[in-house]
Amino acid sequence: MGGALPSDQVNAESTGYSVEFEVAFATEAGEQRLSLVGFESWLERDRLMLLDFDPDTVGLASQPYWLFWTTAEARSRSHAPDYFARLADGTAIVLDCRPLDRIKPKDEVAFEATRAACELLGWRYEIVGTPPEVLLANVRWLAGYRHPRHDLHVVAQTLRAVFSRPMPLWRSPAHSRAVKIAADRPLRRRSSPRP
């Protein structure tokens, strides 16, 4: 499998350069993403949306590195995982997106090599399939409100203050103007839907 990779950096030995792929995509929790992250399939797009809405994800890169290794049969192989995500607690996760019923033996070999490389670096590795339909529908709907025109900071602050303790909506002091203004908009851009 070649030499060990340094943490948070991927070496491209054949070209003699290294890329710190997190630098380009790092964000603070709750900050609007300013960089585009690529995807090659609808399944990758759906996973990307879920990662973007996950409050624990603070950095994200698409196909962050190529992994090269030699098989037991002396054949050269390579694989680029779909996503690298840095989490708020400092840990990292590498993801491959594939419908679980469509993983071929050749893919299994690549995924196992990726898992082994991630373990060497202390990163978590997962193969993710199709997300739950309802969760995905909610995330797609909320994603439409990521545009700056929907940023109603003052209204959101008012609602958070009013509802800092649980109460029925109809009993709240915000039942008047604030709720009517915000009823058709999300309370914040990084709403985190759950299944």
Question: Could you report the per-residue pLDDT of 97-145, keeping only the tens digit for each?
Answer: 999 899 999 999 999 999 999 999 999 999 999 999 999 998 888 887 7
Runs of H (alpha helix) within the chain: 42-53, 105-121, 133-143, 153-162, 177-182
Amino acid at 71: T
Q: Other CB atoms closer than 10 Å to residue 179's CB: what's the count?
A: 18
Question: What's the pLDDT score for residue 172?
Answer: 59
Amino acid at 111: F
**pTM beyond cutoff 0.75:** no
25 or 66: which leads in pLDDT: 66
- Element at 124 (helix H, strand E): strand 124-128
Tokens of 27: 């964000």
Question: Could you report the per-residue pLDDT of 28-66, keeping only the tens digit for each?
Answer: 444 544 567 888 899 999 999 899 889 899 888 899 889
